[in-house]
Amino acid sequence: MDLPVMPPVAPMLAKSVAEIPPGMQYEAKWDGFRTVVFRDGDEVELGSRTGKPLTRYFPELVEALRRELPPRCVLDGEVVIAREGRLRFEELLERIHPAASRVRLLAERTPASFVAFDLLALGDAALLDEPLSRRRPALEAALAGATDPVFTAPASLDREVARTWFAQYEGAGLDGVVAKPLDQPYRPGERTMFKIKHERTADCVVAGYREHKSGPVVGSLLLGINDAQGRLQHVGVCAAFPMARRRELAEELAPLRMTDASAHPWGAWAEEAAHAGARLPGAQSRWTGGKDLSWVALRPERVVEVAYDHMEGARFRHTAQFRRWRPDRRPESCTYEQLEEPVSYDLAQVMRS
């Protein structure tokens, strides 16, 4: 491979803002694996956000990119899996598997797509120093003939269109809106774009915590919500506390610590078979490897209000943020019924636009 922009390339990133800023190019925020694609003739490489190659996990996509892309190019975009009209991030996670036979099976069962939103090189020309106002038309021209499963991300200069996308596209599994300055060159690894994400709140049961790597203080709170059968399901964690607050939380929660966790709703978390019938903390996976997933069990008596962006199945897609304790709420009142469900929106409408 001999391209004017060579791997690895750290993709350009975005900083969170509360409102959609004016005077920019707007795109939907895709919920998949951020990927930089390199093609030089028959050679195709998929680079992850961290620079590690993803190529072996998506053989069907490599074949499609070889067919649909210009002979020599570098693209920034997102690898996604779409099914039944919305994105499926959990199915995307399953694609990262060490067994080649499993990779081949999933390539047929849950094929991936690539959504391109920037062009970093074309032919012998590097475009990193070109402004977005020139890179975007070049991207559209380069992919004008591309067909499923290779798409060009919809973009608009109209702020009202971006607001409509923000309201509608969540129902297709998208993750908000990204705003990009038009005069901006491509700056790998720098947070020079802006992202606007949905934020909602939920009342959750605090049923345990993991200690911080620095010592016996709170690293993250383990959150639970009761399902329709009254079973407490692990839905995610609340983290990102200042160190002083981590110590305070450890002291606050000390009276709830359980020396014997056998009676805890998640008491069987260390047994692999228990994870098949419920959402419990501590499940080992190819993502966690040998990481210590032990946690401190608490009597599930305290309720916390947290902020979250959206759900992925029955859990929070990302780490939730602490808002306040809710002494006025009973743990049994924390159910899935409280969660707002976005209005469904067909992902095909997004792709076609």
15, 29, 195, 291: the active-site residue:
29
State both tokens at 258: 């359980």
| Residue with tokens 């620079």, as numbered in its chain | 51
Rounded Cα gap, residues 210 and 227, in angstroms: 23
Strands 150-152 and 113-122: parallel
Cβ(89)–Cβ(52) below 8 Å: no
CA-CA distances (angstroms) from residue 317 to 162, 219, 280? Answer: 22, 19, 15
Token pair, residue 35, equals: 């990927």
> Taking the CB of residue 131, how many other CB atoms lie within 10 A of it?
14
Phi, psi of 322 (to 5 degrees): -65, 130
Query: Is 29 marked active-site?
Result: yes
Q: Which helix or strand (DSSP H or E) is residue 134 part of?
A: helix 132-142
Dihedral over Cα of 116, 314, 274, 217: its sign = positive
Task: For the chain, give percent helix, strand, coil, nearest 5.
Answer: 25, 35, 40
Active site residues: 29
